[in-house]
Amino acid sequence: AQSVTQLGSHVSVSEGALVLLRCNYSSSVPPYLFWYVQYPNQGLQLLLKYTSAATLVKGINGFEAEFKKSETSFHLTKPSAHMSDAAEYFCAVRGNEKLTFGTGTRLTIIP
């Protein structure tokens, strides 16, 4: 069965600093991986997805993630944090048509 682990339930970064949110996956087959963002009182929105076409995936709002098979990781990064990036971020892996989500990382931006 597929699973994902998000390291750090809360991350705080200063505005303009690098954002790094960690996700490690476990999968017996080549995985399809996703990052979703949830703003307060809203549903989840897809940031980006890995479907084996390229290991570096670019998403919306300046985010990107790199798939590293040797490290079983799919960490999310953004070079320069903006106040509007404050939200909760979920890593997910697809298996048998279902998505399994991580526990989420709440990102706080310090002015």
Decide whether 84 or 96 has the Cβ nearer to another protein: 96
C-alpha to C-alpha distance for 61 and 107, rounded to whole angstroms: 15
Q: Residue 75 CB: number of other CB atoms within 10 A?
A: 19
| Binding residue for another protein, selected from 42, 56, 70, 83, defined by CB under 8 A | 42
What binding mask, one character per residue, do residues 52-91 give for another protein by CB under 8 A, x or -?
Answer: --------------------------------------x-
Closest CA to 85 of 25, 13, 34: 13
Output 43 or 111, the one with its CB closest to another protein: 43
CB 85 within 8 A of CB 78: yes
β-sheet bridge partners, residue 90: 36
Token pair in block for residue 9: 């339930």
User: Cβ closer to another protein: 17 or 38?
Assistant: 38
What are the residues binding another protein (CB under 8 A)? 32, 34, 36, 41-46, 49, 51, 90, 94, 97-104
